[in-house]
């Protein structure tokens, strides 16, 4: 009788151990799937936001070059405004998903972009483009850090004065 009880306890312990191991493995797999899903969403948001910033900057530049009061200028200004609305929505998504450092970098990009957009609307002198480029480079660095993407500089990137973007 004792032999049967020991065998039964062994079977129960084995089944319980197997169940716990399978549950822990499934939880780990689920966490990894969720982390991958959020990283993919973050990457997509980072890319969409950067693309939208570039679109606004490019469209604003074209609007500044167009003749005052022309249909071409009005079209560029309308496109700039539309892209600015998309950027605003993308920034809100970025705030929800991104690291605090990446969010702050994007906020600094927003401030520089707003100055350029306002100057374009008013046909005023536009702030230096280099500022926006530098802020976008910082944004890219913070996004890569948040995503865990390592980037080693190429030998030609070491040169002083080389413009990244």
Mean pLDDT in residue range 75-92? 95
Is this prediction's pTM over 0.75?
no
Higher pLDDT, 38 or 87: 87
Rounded Cα–Cα distance for residues 162 and 36 (Å): 34
Q: How far is CA 63 from CA 40, 68, 111, in A?
A: 34, 9, 19
Q: What DSSP element (H or E) covers 158?
A: none
For residues 72-81, give the mean pLDDT: 95
Cβ partners under 8 Å of residue 3, min gap 6: none
Position 59 confidence tier, pLDDT thresholds 50, 70, 90: very high
Tokens describing residue 119: 């100057």
Q: How far lies 126's CA from each of 25, 112, 161, in Å? A: 56, 10, 22
Reply yes or no on whether the pLDDT at 49 is more than 90.
yes
Alpha carbon separation from 150 to 100, 106, 144, 160 (Å, rounded): 19, 20, 7, 21
Retrieve residue 81's tokens: 């405004």
pLDDT at 71: 95
Q: Please report the pLDDT score of residue 129 as a whole number.
A: 83
Q: What is the pLDDT of residue 155?
A: 66
- Whether residue 41 is predicted with pLDDT greater than 60 in this model: the reply is yes
Q: How far is CA 80 from the centre of its chain?
A: 21
């Amino acid at each position: 009788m004792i032999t049967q009880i020991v065998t039964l306890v062994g079977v129960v312990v084995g089944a319980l151990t197997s169940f716990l191991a399978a549950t822990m493995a499934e939880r780990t797999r689920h966490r990894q799937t969720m982390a991958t899903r959020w990283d993919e969403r973050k990457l997509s948001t980072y890319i969409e936001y950067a693309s939208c910033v570039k679109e606004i900057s490019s469209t604003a530049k074209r609007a500044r070059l167009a003749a005052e009061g022309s249909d071409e200028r009005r079209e560029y200004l309308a496109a700039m405004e539309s892209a600015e609305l998309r950027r605003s929505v993308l920034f809100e998504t970025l705030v929800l998903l991104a690291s605090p450092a990446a969010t702050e970098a994007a906020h600094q990009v927003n401030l520089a972009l707003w100055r350029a957009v306002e100057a374009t609307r008013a046909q005023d002198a536009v702030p230096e483009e280099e500022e926006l480029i530098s802020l976008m480079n910082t944004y890219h660095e913070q996004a890569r850090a948040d995503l865990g993407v390592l980037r080693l500089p190429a030998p030609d990137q070491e040169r002083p004065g080389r413009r990244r973007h």
